[in-house]
Structure 1
Amino acid sequence: MTSARLVCSVQTRFLPEQSDPAQSRYAYAYTVTLQNRGPLAAQLVARTWLIEEGGETTQEVRGLGVVGQQPLLGPGESHEYTSWVQLGHPQGRMRGHYLFVSVEAEAFEVEVPAFELAFANMLH
C-alpha cells in the first residue's frame, strides 16, 4: 500500500468566538478528511504539523493519533475530524503529514499539503 491510496483534504474557518484581534489572538478550525482508496486497511498512528505565522515557521507539533483517536480505515472508508489552532498573527499556514501502518505492518506517510489560515479582514 502506498500513501497515494490515502487522500487527505482540509477545510478551514476563522473562529471569531475564540479570537481577540486586539490581543493578537486568532483562532482557526480545520476539518481534515482522510479517505482510504486502497485495497488494504490502514491505521493512523501519529501526526506532525508545521505551523507558520506571518511567513515564519513558529512551531512543530508531533503527537499520537488525531484528537485522541487512532482510526483504522478499511478500503473505501473515510475519517473526518475537526481541530483548531490559535495564532498570534492574522495569517498563517499549516502543513504536515500523518504516519499510517497498513494491516501488513507497512509504515508509510501521507502528506498534508499546505493550507492557509487567514482572518477574513486580511483577504483581498
Structure 2
Amino acid sequence: MNTTTTQGVTVSVTTNYLPDYSSPSQEHYVFAYKIDIRNNSEYTVKLLRRHWHIYDANGVVREVEGDGVVGQQPVLEPGEAHQYVSGCNLKTGLGKMCGTYQMERLADGREFTVDIPEFTLIVPFRLN
C-alpha cells in the first residue's frame, strides 16, 4: 500500500491486476486501484477535482482530469474517510500512476492540493 499525507488528508492506494479483462497478446492490460481518502485534519473538506498522470513502460504518458472521483465529490468531516475503486488500462504490463486532488476547506472556501502517492501497476508474472 502506498500512502501520503498532505495538509491532514491521507491518501492510500492498493492495486490489482485484472487478468480476466486483460489480453496480453493484444497489448491490453487492465488494473484496478482502490483509493482510501482520510480526513485527519480539523476541518471539513470537499474533494472537487482529480488530476492523474498515467505512465506505461513504452514511455507513453496520459493525463486525466475531471470533477470529483467516480462521479462523486465527497465531503469529509474530520475523522471521516471515503473509499472508491477505479481502473486503468495500459498497453504494457508495467506502468505507474500519480496525481493530485483539488480539495476545498468548507469553513473558509480555501482550496488546496492533496498529493496522490505514486503507485506501480504491474502484472504478477513480471515479478518472476
TM-score bucket of the superposed structures, by smaller chain:
over 0.9
Amino acid of the structure 2 residue aligned with 1:71: P
Structure 1: unaligned runs, 5 residues or longer = none
Of 112, 120, 125, which aligns to 1:121? 125
Deviations along 1:12-71, one digit per CA (max 9) or x if unpaired, are: 000111100111100000000000001110000000000000062420100000000000
Amino acid at match of 2:119: F
> Are the counterparts in 1 of residues 31 and 89 from structure 2 also a CA contact under 8 Å?
yes
Q: Aligned equivalents of 1:64 and 1:17: distance in 2?
A: 29
Q: Which residue of 2 aligns with 1:45?
A: 48
Is the 8 Å Cα contact of residues 58 and 92 (structure 2) preserved in structure 1?
A: no
Report how many aligned residue pairs link the two structures.
123
Segments ≥4 residues shifted beyond 2 Å: none
Q: Write the mapping of 1:52-63 to structure 2, written as runs, cut at 5 A.
A: 52-54=55-57, 56-63=59-66
1:56 is paired with a residue whose SS is coil
For structure 2, the 5+ residue unaligned runs are none
AA matched with 1:119 = V
Structure 2 match to 1:23: 26
Q: How far 1:75 sits from its partner (Å)?
A: 0.4
Post-superposition CA distance 1:77-123 (Å, at most 9, x none): 00000000000000000000000001120100100111000011101
Q: Report the CA distance shift for 1:23/1:55 in structure 2 as closer, same or farther (over 3 A).
A: closer
Asked if the contact 2:15/2:121 (under 8 Å) is kept, the reply is: yes
TM-score (norm 2): 0.92
Q: CA deviation at 1:4?
A: 2.4
Choose from 12, 21, 24 the match for 2:15: 12
Give the TM-score normalised by structure 1.
0.95
- Kept in 2, the 8 Å contact 1:9–1:32? The answer is yes
RMSD (Å) for aligned C-alpha atoms: 1.3
Amino-acid identity (%): 37
Q: Does 2:110 correspond to 1:106?
A: yes
